[in-house]
Amino acid sequence: MAISAPLDASPPEASNARAFAWMSVALVGFLTMGLAGRALARDVSLYQLLVYRNAICLVFVVALLPHTGLAIMRTRHIGRHLARSACHIAGQYLWFFAVVWLPLTEVFAIEFTTPIWTALFAATVLGERMTRWRALAIALGFTGVLLILRPGASIIAPASLAAVGAAVCFAVTYCFTKAMVAEERPMTILFWMHLMQLPMGLSPALVHGWVNPPLSQAPLVAAIGIAGFATHYCIARAMRHADATVVAPLDFLRLPIGAVIGWAFYAEVVDPIVVLGAALILTGNWTNLRRG
């Protein structure tokens, strides 16, 4: 969501530097969550990863209650929270599935279609105006996805479809958030999201068989939860210091950084077609930020 002006009264250069610092931490968080998820998925189910993530995030939210007050627990829209949480945890599951089985470059490229899906759903569901710039952004995003998936040229991998599904689920989640923020505090949304997602992930995790990972993997378990909470917190802090047009391109650095990490640690080869598709998707995002 674009912010018309920074909330920080500091000079633009200082504000942008602070935004860069917060986004740098967020980038580390995103990459840490993906790498930790890959490593843990060898021993535990993806549902169990979701339990760890939501349990640790819920601990952070509850720890903030003395500061935020118990009022954040009150809501008149429990049904909306339930629908939003179900959609978000589905997106989380699909994202972890894609991270485990796809090159990081492809996962992040497809994930960057989330703002484009959000613009489409906001226009069709929330009644927001569809400008020609937003239409162009959506067209570029769809073209980029088609290049990456290459339907007809080869069999589309289930993990690639999972990445697309994750982006769509996250976009629907954002639309729920936008419809709710007028009446609900952000911390209220976070509290109910993690509280509801915890049993949603726990039930299938128990059905698939709970496996206690070795103690040596405790840092990875902690990393998933801490990174999951820290990334969104850091992005919110970055938005306080700079416009979305400054913050969002910093998030796009996940793509080349992910490509380097994938090449260095997993011998992943960067597909030129994926790079071209990613370029179209990022161009669509930039068009939406600047004009949409």
> What is the tens place of the pLDDT at every residue in 81-106?
999 999 999 999 999 999 999 999 99
pLDDT score, position 54: 94
Give the SS3 label for residue 95: helix
pLDDT score, position 63: 92
C-alpha radius of gyration, the chain, whole number = 19
Contact 40, 213 (CB under 8 A): yes
Q: Give the residue among 102, 73, 146, 106 at the shortest CA–CA distance from 255.
A: 106
Rounded to the nearest 5 degrees, what angle is found at the Cα of 146, between the Cα atoms of 143 and 152?
140
What residues have CB less than 8 Å from 127, skipping those under 6 apart? Answer: none
Please name the helix (run of DSSP H) or strand (run of DSSP E) that holds residue 29, with its range, or none.
helix 12-40
Distance from C-alpha of 217 to C-alpha of 21, rounded to nearest angstrom: 29
Q: Give the residue among 105, 85, 143, 83 at the shortest CA–CA distance from 275.
A: 105
Contact 169, 91 (CB under 8 A): yes
Flag residues of the chain having pLDDT under 70. Answer: 1-14, 152-155, 244-246, 291-292
